[in-house]
């Protein structure tokens, strides 16, 4: 038996973190499968291990098939082997349903450029957790037959955490590694890494990368070690520039020690990671790739919010309309997959379309952008020449297929980034029949030259930086361009029933008007007076904090007592309200509103659709909704003022102001929401204590506070589900600025959750 050295604590921590992350991603993807493809989820085999592992691998495989322009029939063929006995018709309908509901912005693992590596990783993870018979070749043969994938090619990857052992090293942090170096080096390195400014810089770098790593703690550890090495090397370069010869020689030894750590610890671990993990790690770093990922994420968010799928009917309508205008080619997006459409207009084109291999060729397909052309194409590919050296046939009559991306169109630039990121697009050949109907001739994967994509990416990023200086501005830029000259009235009616008034048509006064079930006038007047005093720039910080704490306490206590009274007298029904969130910083304000709602027993939904991007649909009981709005109004004002103040006082020189403010706002929001939650829990605990200690308390008919509130939450959830049966999970927040921790600090000194005023405790009069 081969001897295996015992696992060190660092190795164990790395392995467990990796496994926890993979299991969490499996859970998330299985949940997407269950919601987006419920029919297929119900058909999954029960004889193939944990159903969640099967579901995660299946949805990744379906997404990969879609990205590679494989037909529904191709997907159904391997599903028939995976799910023996399933009816082909059921599988076909299930695959179509799932493909149609793979929203572009919800799950990064299912984006077209990620699906292939996630397919490989999840099949490996499934096989790792699958029971083996002892006959490895037999197991591989069975798995290959059922999944239609050669499992011999995706054998379990080596354990990354043990990779440094090949170099005679343990898995150590940089600080631990350097303790084995000579004492002067180790002491100096420790002093630099422990310095407050170095520690703060590393912390900021890790925080900025964390959102891109999708909760992968083992990758976060690697990112932290990379940041430590980079900061130590940056310090060394700065000191070496003006040091003596002896100092430079000593610092060169320090640089070599850092390089040894990178080569014998970090690099072997990174090399053993899956392709998916390596991509996550590398693209979480700053630089052009990071910028491209940020813009692509915002672009896919826009497509998801827009909620307009390019179904067959829409494609046929567009083809008929463009053919009437004499145009034959256009481009679009289907989910996260770039799609090119071309209407053939001659028998020669029809024959060429059916024979096209998808290989990049200027004589077939030209992608027109503002990027410089680095080399000319061969107009006549070699495979079209016969043995005598004569050219047999032109591939396409001039001018061929021209795909044009406009440098002034934010949508076009986002779509071009997707093409550059993926390296190909799906090409749909269409034909208009004599009756005017559109027929699909063929779907093919049209690949682009690898040497072109960097130039396209650079050009698209440079152009986007002008149209949308920050990725968060991209959706606004696209909508602004779409709305130029458009009928705004039609958009305002989108996604709302005939019996509802679009929120955008309400006046501000109508928008904040409350029905009879809101906060009582006496309480509302007191709360508003407290908030006005807290918002007054002339009051001191402790005074503002006291005023705001009192307002939060009054609203929390009233909401819980109202719930206990309603539970006996009239359980009531939840209501809903659409709130318009106006600039500036709409995304951050919308997040603040939805997170406040979540802490105050309400539910917030982003409705989707281009007309609803600035709207939040709130569900809850009226008193709770009213409290949410009152608190949101005050906190939003403080957030905007605080961001301006922090930008003036703390933003590092050279950092973009908008990026800094956005990151500050995220820290501020997270801190104040934590404090709102604490205030709510304190109010619940106080009400529960009062109920237990007061024998005359009959507010809830003997039911506990927790049970009453849980029942009300269930009623609200049922209303949300009835209105929005399929709600996608929000994507993780991404930000680039370094103001997060300052926002947290300022949030602690702001609004919610400290000791309340002792006087004027008159809630009983307000609630009875």
pLDDT digits (tens, 9 = 90+) for 498-512: 333 333 333 333 333
Domain identity same for 272 and 303: no
Is residue 224 in some structural domain? yes
- Are residues 56 and 99 both part of a single domain? yes
More confident residue, 643 or 378: 643
Listed range (166-180, 445-459, 746-760) with the worst mean pLDDT? 746-760
Domain that holds residue 210: 175-285
Q: Is the pLDDT of residue 409 over 70?
A: yes
pLDDT of residue 406: 92
* pLDDT the model gives residue 499: 33
pLDDT for residue 630: 82
* Same domain membership, residue 654 and residue 750: yes
pLDDT at 330 over 50: yes
- Hunting for tokens 């191709």 — which residue is that? 74
Q: Average pLDDT, stretch 462-468?
A: 91
Q: What is the count of structural domains for the chain?
A: 4
**The pLDDT value given to residue 118:** 93
> Among 180, 218, 226, which residue's Cα sits nearest to residue 202?
226
Instruction: Tokens for 55, please give them.
Output: 């579901």
pLDDT score, position 21 = 94
| Measured distance CA(356)–CA(426) in Å, rounded | 13
Mean pLDDT of the chain: 78
Same-domain check for residues 268 and 304: no
More confident residue, 678 or 384: 678
Looking at the structure, do residues 319 and 198 belong to the same domain, yes or no? Answer: no
pLDDT in tens, 470-525: 887 888 788 777 765 443 333 333 333 333 333 333 333 333 334 345 555 666 66
What local confidence, expressed as pLDDT, does residue 150 receive?
Answer: 84
By the 10 Å C-beta count (0-12 exposed, 13-18 middle, 19+ buried), 249 is classed as exposed
Q: Are residues 275 and 355 in the same domain?
A: no
Do 325 and 458 lie in one domain? The reply is: yes
With bands split at pLDDT 50, 70 and 90, how would you rate the model's confidence at 349?
Answer: confident
Please list the residues that pair with 447 across neighbouring strands: 424
The answer on 276 and 317 residing in a single domain is no
Clarify whether residues 658 and 612 are in a common domain.
Answer: yes
Q: Is residue 162 part of a domain?
A: no
122: confidence class by pLDDT, cuts 50, 70, 90: very high
Tell me which of 635 and 542 has the higher pLDDT: 635
Distance between CA atoms of 349 and 294, rounded to whole angstroms?
39
Q: What does the pLDDT read at residue 730? A: 58
DSSP H/E element including 605: strand 603-605
Higher pLDDT, 95 or 326: 95
Is the Cα torsion angle 180, 182, 187, 193 positive or negative in sign? negative
Task: Evaluate the CA torsion angle 136, 272, 215, 8 in order and state its sign.
Answer: positive
**Per-residue pLDDT, 257:** 92
- The predicted pLDDT at position 102 comes to 83
Bigger pLDDT: 107 vs 340: 340
R_g over Cα of the chain: 30
Asked if residue 499 is part of any domain, the answer here is no
Does 324 lie in the same domain as 259?
A: no
Task: Report the pLDDT value the prediction gives residue 748, as an integer from 0 to 100.
Answer: 66
pLDDT for res 611: 62
Q: Is the residue at 427 inside a domain?
A: yes
């Amino acid at each position: 038996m081969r001897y295996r050295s015992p696992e060190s604590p660092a190795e164990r921590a790395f392995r467990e973190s990796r496994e926890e992350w993979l299991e969490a991603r499996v859970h998330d993807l299985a949940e997407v499968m269950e919601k987006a493809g419920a029919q297929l989820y119900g058909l999954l085999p029960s004889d193939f291990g944990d159903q969640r592992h099967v579901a995660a691998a299946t949805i990744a495989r379906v997404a990969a098939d879609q990205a590679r322009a494989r037909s529904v029939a191709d997907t159904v063929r391997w599903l028939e082997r995976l799910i023996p006995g399933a009816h082909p018709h059921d599988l076909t309908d299930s695959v179509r349903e799932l493909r149609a509901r793979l929203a572009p912005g919800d799950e990064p693992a299912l984006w077209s450029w990620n699906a292939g590596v996630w397919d490989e990783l999840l099949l490996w993870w499934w096989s790792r957790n699958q029971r083996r018979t002892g006959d490895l070749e037999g197991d591989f043969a069975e798995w290959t037959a059922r999944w239609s994938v050669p499992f011999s090619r995706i054998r379990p990857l080596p354990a990354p955490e043990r990779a440094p052992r090949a170099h005679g090293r343990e898995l150590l942090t940089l600080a631990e590694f350097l303790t084995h170096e000579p004492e002067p080096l180790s002491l100096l390195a420790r002093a630099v890494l422990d310095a407050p400014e170095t520690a703060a810089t590393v912390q900021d770098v890790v925080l900025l990368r964390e959102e891109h790593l999708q909760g992968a703690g083992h990758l976060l550890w690697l990112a932290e070690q990379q940041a430590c090495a980079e900061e130590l090397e940056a310090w060394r370069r700065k000191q070496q520039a003006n040091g003596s010869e002896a100092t430079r020689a000593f610092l060169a030894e320090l640089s070599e020690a850092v390089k040894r750590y990178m080569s014998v610890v970090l690099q072997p671990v990174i090399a053993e990671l899956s392709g998916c993990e390596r991509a996550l790690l590398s693209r979480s770093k700053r630089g052009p790739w990071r910028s491209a990922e940020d813009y692509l994420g915002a672009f896919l968010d826009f497509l998801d919010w827009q909620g307009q799928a390019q179904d067959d009917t829409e494609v046929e309508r567009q083809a008929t309309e463009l053919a009437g205008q004499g145009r034959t080619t256009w481009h679009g997006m289907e989910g996260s997959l770039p799609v090119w459409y071309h209407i053939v207009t001659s028998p020669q084109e029809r024959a060429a379309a059916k024979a096209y291999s998808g290989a990049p060729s200027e004589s077939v397909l030209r992608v027109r952008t503002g990027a410089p052309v680095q080399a000319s194409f061969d107009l006549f590919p070699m495979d079209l020449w016969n043995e005598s050296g004569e050219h047999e046939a032109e591939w396409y009559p001039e001018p061929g297929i021209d795909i044009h991306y406009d440098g002034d169109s934010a949508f076009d630039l986002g779509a071009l980034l997707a093409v550059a990121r993926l390296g190909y697009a799906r090409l749909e050949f269409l034909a208009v029949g004599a009756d005017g109907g559109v027929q699909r001739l063929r779907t093919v994967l049209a690949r682009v030259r690898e040497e072109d994509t960097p130039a396209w990416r650079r050009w698209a990023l440079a152009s986007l930086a002008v149209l949308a200086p920050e990725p968060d501005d991209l959706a606004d830029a696209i909508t602004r361009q779409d709305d130029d000259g458009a009928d705004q009235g039609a958009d305002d009616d989108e996604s709302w029933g005939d019996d509802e008034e679009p929120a955008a048509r309400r006046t501000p006064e109508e928008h904040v008007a409350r029905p009879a079930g809101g906060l009582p006038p006496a309480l509302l007047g007191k709360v508003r007076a407290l908030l006005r005093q807290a918002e007054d720039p002339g009051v001191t910080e402790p005074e503002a904090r006291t005023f705001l704490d009192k307002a939060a306490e009054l609203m929390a206590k009233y909401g819980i007592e109202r719930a206990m009274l309603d539970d006996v007298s009239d359980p009531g029904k939840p209501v809903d309200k659409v709130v318009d969130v106006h600039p500036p910083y709409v995304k951050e304000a919308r997040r603040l509103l939805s997170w406040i709602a979540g802490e105050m027993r309400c539910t917030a939904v982003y409705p989707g659709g281009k007309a609803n991007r600035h709207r939040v649909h709130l569900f809850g009981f009226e008193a709770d909704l009213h409290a949410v709005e009152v608190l949101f109004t005050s906190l939003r004002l403080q957030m905007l003022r605080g961001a301006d103040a922090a930008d003036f006082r703390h933003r590092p020189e050279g950092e973009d102001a908008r990026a800094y403010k956005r990151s500050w706002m995220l820290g501020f929001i997270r801190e104040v929401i934590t404090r709102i939650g604490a205030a709510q829990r304190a109010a619940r605990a106080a009400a529960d204590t009062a109920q237990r200690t007061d024998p005359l308390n009959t507010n809830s008919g003997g039911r506990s506070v927790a049970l009453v509130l849980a029942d009300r939450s269930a009623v609200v959830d049922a209303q949300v589900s009835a209105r929005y049966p399929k709600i996608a999970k929000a994507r993780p927040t991404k930000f680039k600025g370094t103001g997060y921790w300052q926002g947290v600090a300022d949030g602690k000194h702001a609004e919610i959750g400290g000791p309340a005023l002792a006087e004027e405790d008159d809630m009983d009069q307000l609630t009875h």
